[in-house]
Amino acid sequence: MESKEDGAFYIHLDLKKKPTNHSQLPSTSIKGSVLMTIPVLPAELITEILSRVPVKSLLKFRSISKSWLALISSPEFINTHLSLSTNNKDYTHHLLTMNFGAAMNGLYEYTLKDTTLTSLLYESVTEAFDLDYPYKKLHKYFSMVGSVNGLICLAIEEYDLVLWNPSIRKYKKLPDSKPTLMKKDCWPLYGFGYNEFHYDYKVVAIFLKYSSRDQVEVKIYSLHSDSWKCVDECPIKKLLNISGKFVNGKLYWITHGLDLFNMYKDGNIISIDLADEK
């Protein structure tokens, strides 16, 4: 597993410079022989072609030239590439499953398996493959916070968060997510989503007090700024102990009340819009 703290953690494309001549390059003479003229493709056509290329190939193409590196590094292209990918009916959909059990050395061993929905639903024997996820060798408990556009957010133990791109085997460890107001006796609930207006991936952390669920602290992480910030006003009170679910630009959680027998009742749904963070 390779860590990628800087650079292209996820693919972006942009065209910084456009060729000024779309006709042909001049022929070149070497030792009396004349090389064939090489046509120059219009920049728009190059972008159109690359927007349909798989991510793994795009990563290799970055080393072709500086102009291609600039192209495969801007936020404009990623939106086009994502849009074409999600609407491509030939793309395969995957399901990740987590299992754990006691290892020979007494530590818990966690495994993450990848299978296609086609294999799961239509094949007599489902094919599943082990994934080498970040920090696997540490034998620490982890949970999947959510998945957006091929990126997966993992929570290692309580406060260590990782954004992971399994297709290119790179990950990014997020800055410390511990609460600033509640120093102890609290637990976190997370949600992972995407702000399509600013091309920004965000993680929402909700910290609840063990002794009183009326005490809440909310922080939001932005991948663009690579930092957390606190949300001043938050109506969130009692929540079910599950990760937030991302739908159409918002993260959703289920609230609840308790009756005299400490049974859940009066559930509601609350949301946080990742565009205005309200």
Q: Whole-model pTM above 0.85?
A: no
What are residue 97's phi and psi, to 5 degrees?
Answer: -125, 145
- The Cα 132–Cα 136 span in angstroms is 7
Phi, psi of 229 (to 5 degrees): -140, 150
Beta strands in the chain (DSSP E): 2-3, 29-30, 33-34, 94-102, 108-116, 129-130, 142-148, 151-156, 160-165, 170-173, 186-195, 200-209, 216-222, 227-230, 245-247, 250-258, 264-273
* 269 vs 40: CA distance, rounded Å: 55
The pLDDT value recorded for residue 237 is 63
Q: Of all residues in the chain, what percent carry a pLDDT higher than 90?
A: 16
Classify residue 150 as left (phi > 0), alpha (psi -120 to 50) or beta. Answer: left
Confidence bin at 247 (pLDDT 50/70/90):
very high
What letter would DSSP give residue 185? S
Domain boundaries, the chain: 2-19+41-86, 175-273
Read off the amino acid at residue 247: V
For 111-136, what is the HEC assignment?
A: EEEEEEHHHHHHCCCCCCEECCCCCH
According to the model, what pLDDT value does residue 202 have? 96
pLDDT band at 266 (very low <50, low <70, confident <90, very high): low
H or E element in which residue 76 lies: helix 75-86
pLDDT 10s digits, 76-98: 877 777 778 777 776 677 777 77
pLDDT value at 8 more than 50 = no
Does the pLDDT of residue 161 top 80, yes or no? Answer: yes
Confidence category of residue 1, pLDDT binned at 50, 70, 90? low
What is the reported pLDDT for 220?
Answer: 94
Average pLDDT score, the chain: 76
Query: Are residues 170 and 3 in contact, defined by beta-carbon separation less than 8 angstroms?
Result: yes
Look at residue 56 and tell me whether its pLDDT is greater than 90: no
Instruction: Centre a 10 Å sphere on the Cβ of residue 62 and count the other Cβ atoms it contains.
Output: 17
Q: What is the pLDDT of residues 36-53, one digit of tens each?
A: 555 678 888 888 888 888
